[in-house]
Amino acid sequence: MRLYWIKTNSFIKNIFSNYIWNIPNTGNKIYLTFDDGPTPKITEWVLEELKKYNAKATFFCIGKNIVSHPDLFNNIINEGHTLGNHTFNHLNGWNTETTNYIENVALCESSLLNQKSKEQKTNTKFFRPPYGKIKKSQSKKLRQLGYKIIMWDVLSADFDQTISPEKCLENVLQNAVSGSVIVFHDSVKAFINLEYALPRTLQILKEKGFKFDTLPY
């Protein structure tokens, strides 16, 4: 049984109004986001696909992956994309004590900063909780520390290995509107769906007049 929403409804957005779910704008912009990287070969492929359409995106990176793949991480920066924090160990906030969770976010933040060159040391303070699961106490503390908690308006569900690549694409195309924050994953698990859905998402939404931009500061 599916335990997630493809399109986040207004009721949820209103309850959790301290989180960013979508970004209304007058420029017909859509915000592609990628979670769980950087991942060898897959993140590189994503960067090439984005480049074909002059599309910019935001990558919510796992700290341990940044440490393991620093060159790939810097490729994301050099291509003009924006970075976000996805914890160091991809923690489920609901199952993690708040102090430990905040420390893990800080460890990821250190990885983000340490791997950048001096010219790239800008701290975006974008945070996305893995699985979308975060306690109220964790959220409050992170926001006090200056983080913007970025959720999503449209979930591609590329991580769901029970759906077809065609369904993954449909999830995006049927629900994306101007201002949507769309979630993909540059991970091994998601790649079979991502490989099909991402190029077609870029092509079709561009043909419809949408522009792909990084999350605004």
Catalytic residues, by residue number, are: 35, 185
Tokens representing 77 are 């920066």
The number of beta carbons lying within 10 Å of the beta carbon of residue 9 is 9
Which of 64, 62, 59 has the alpha carbon at shortest distance from 79?
59
The number of beta carbons lying within 10 Å of the beta carbon of residue 120 is 13
Distance from C-alpha of 214 to C-alpha of 217, rounded to nearest angstrom: 9
With tokens 């950087």, the residue in question is: 38
Would you call 168 helix, strand, or coil by DSSP?
helix
> What angle is formed at CA 134 by the lines to CA 129 and CA 137, rounded to 5 degrees?
130
